[in-house]
Amino acid sequence: YIMLELGQPMHAFDGDRLKGNIQVRPANPKEKIKLLDGERLTLDAKSLLITDENGPVALAGIKGGASTMIHPKTHTIFLEAAFFDPDGVARTAREYGLNTDASHRFERGVDFEGQSRAIERATRLLIDIAGGDAGPLIDTLESDHLPTRAEILLRASRVTKVLGMNIEPTVIANSLFRLGFAFEPQSG
């Protein structure tokens, strides 16, 4: 649901089945994972994994592993939302013939700043529907691996030309501000 609402794929793990901290790392050559649907894969070193102390728990950006999947007696849920390189997800999905909703989203690029919002939204829905308490938000960021936002020059004259009507620069600035865009008005 969160993926449809916000465009952010997520995965829910059975928190009691996770051992220690999770991390994202490349697979070791010939490393194996059993996926949610029971499919077993032997991985290459280009595949990206989410792991815990016991090994792989998900094929990053594509599908979760069977060892930590949610089941009817699950009491603790660990939610994961991430940004994964679109090209890497596309390569891995094709390599193993896994075309999932999550892989399609990641292949096309997701907002690399939307993960916390998705986690908070999913947590709120879970608490409202099923009850319980929220744990801490763990935010791990590796800025070197994130895309950079390109600066966009927006001229009021171009807005007028595209829309076919004159919109005052103050109205444009107010609209950008309300939408949460960072901008610098420039004269001239």
- Prediction pTM value: 0.80
Contact criterion met (CB below 8 Å) for 118 and 81: yes
How do residues 110-166 score in pLDDT, each as one tens digit?
989 889 999 999 999 999 999 999 998 888 877 787 788 888 888 888 898 999 999
What percent of the residues of the chain are helix, what percent strand, and what percent coil, each to the nearest 5? 35, 20, 50
